[in-house]
Amino acid sequence: MAGAGGGSSDVQWCFSQVKGAIDDDVAEADIISTVEFNHSGELLATGDKGGRVVIFQQEPESKNQPQCSGEYNVYSTFQSHEPEFDYLKSLEIEEKINKIRWLPQKNAAQFLLSTNDKTIKLWKISERDKRPEGYNLKEEDGRYRDPNSVTALRVPVFRPMDLMVEASPRRVFANAHTYHINSISVNSDCETYLSADDLRVNLWHLEITDRSFNIVDIKPANMEDLTEVITAAEFHPNQCNTFVYSSSKGSIRLCDMRASALCDKHAKLFEEPEDPNNRSFFSEIISSISDVKFSHSGRYMMTRDYLSVKIWDLNMESRPVETYQVHEYLRSKLCSLYENDCIFDKFECCWNGNDSVVMTGSYNNFFRMFDRGYRQDVTLEASRENSKPRSVLKPRKVSTGGKRKKDEISVDSLDFNKKILHTAWHPLDNIIAVATTNNLYIFQEKLN
């Protein structure tokens, strides 16, 4: 498998770390709901159903073990969202973090956006390792002194202290979405971002919280005429006027904000004609796109539906240039997956640093990698069984019937409660983060 550096098709992945409790009894609040590296890869953020954001920081590489990339340790943990209640609609608003997006770093502090179903927050994460001492009108414990008792002026000084990481909410963007927010994406101009719910896409300025511009609205006059919903949206990585949004019908619309204020008329429509041979009762459900991601270069776009990953060239709308089957062996199981609601699972996907490999999750804690240049794919597993430090991950294979080979797992014995929906790839190195239910696995390339 080619890695972030590209070129080699035989990257061996090895276990690095696992975060989270080992208990089989998983608390609902501990289930990881999003994973995101920052732009340098030094920080890794996770959000969970309990409304918490946990940020891990990569330790500097040790001189004793130059072959090992630095491990990730907890840097900051904070409660991003609390449960709320909408009194007008008599609805509970979950605290679950739906998405986290980092802003490009401009100074010593880091900024990120986090959102639940209704409210987006801008957080500042900053370090303090000095504190001021020697105030004239204040004691060291904070009590104010009587000004008449001050007989000499002192110049306050900064003294070293233990490092403290503070997370403070700088902006709260609320009351702009009637439906549940499924995506946020920071624009390349670093001043604006978009947020998308089932029927609308809004454009925000990072400094302005009391208004946003509605740039897409697909809500019909009569809700009975509703045939599709927005499932994901993202800004182009280097064209600040361009964004895409995907739909539950399997189409992706590319919009140009220069054309008009309301982008209801798309500039391009990416849609693949359906194969009549595969037509079934479940066709519409499994064609719904759960994630869309631009490549770092901005030339390609990746979409994930229930059974496959598709790569689209932005210059060709008629069909994808590459299609990778993630778990085609489940096509015969769609009926039971519909009955247990797994067919509605929303799998995400990600690119490696130089767009040569794509990764996405599957069931049984399997995740898949597809090497675009070598046309190779591999199935790997995130499990505590092979969580010895530096142990190499063995490729897994699923048998679809007939005689099962020794190392294969039968499709009937897959555990559909164990699923990898959220994955992230370090922007520069071959380090990946994979979220199982309540654990975060970190794997890295084995270096000789």
pLDDT digits (tens, 9 = 90+) for 323-379: 999 999 999 999 999 999 999 999 999 999 999 999 999 999 999 999 999 889 999
What are 410-422's pLDDT values in tens digits? 888 899 999 999 9
What pLDDT score does 9 carry?
A: 55
What pLDDT score does 26 carry?
A: 85
Identify the three-state secondary structure at position 306.
coil
What pLDDT score does 62 carry?
A: 56
Comparing 278 with 221, the larger pLDDT belongs to: 221
pLDDT band at 69 (very low <50, low <70, confident <90, very high): low
- Dihedral pair phi/psi, residue 305, rounded to 5°: -110, -170
Nearest to 402 by CA among 411, 394, 393: 411
Nearest to 436 by CA among 383, 396, 385, 399: 383
Comparing 387 with 28, the larger pLDDT belongs to: 28
Comparing 432 with 151, the larger pLDDT belongs to: 432
What are 226-279's pLDDT values in tens digits? 999 999 999 999 999 999 999 999 999 999 999 988 988 899 999 998 878 777
- Kindly state the percentage of the chain with pLDDT values over 90: 68
* Residue 321 tokens, joined: 């240039």
- Kindly state the percentage of the chain with pLDDT values over 70: 96
How far apart, in whole angstroms, are the C-alpha atoms of residue 371 and residue 359?
Answer: 9
The residues near 337 (Cβ < 8 Å, ≥ 6 apart) are: 330, 343, 416
**Taking all residues of the chain, what is their mean pLDDT, rounded to a whole number?**
90
The yes-or-no verdict on residue 402 having pLDDT over 80 is no
The residues near 101 (Cβ < 8 Å, ≥ 6 apart) are: 36, 112, 113, 184, 185, 186, 193
CA angle in degrees (0–180, nearest 5) for 322-184-191? 110
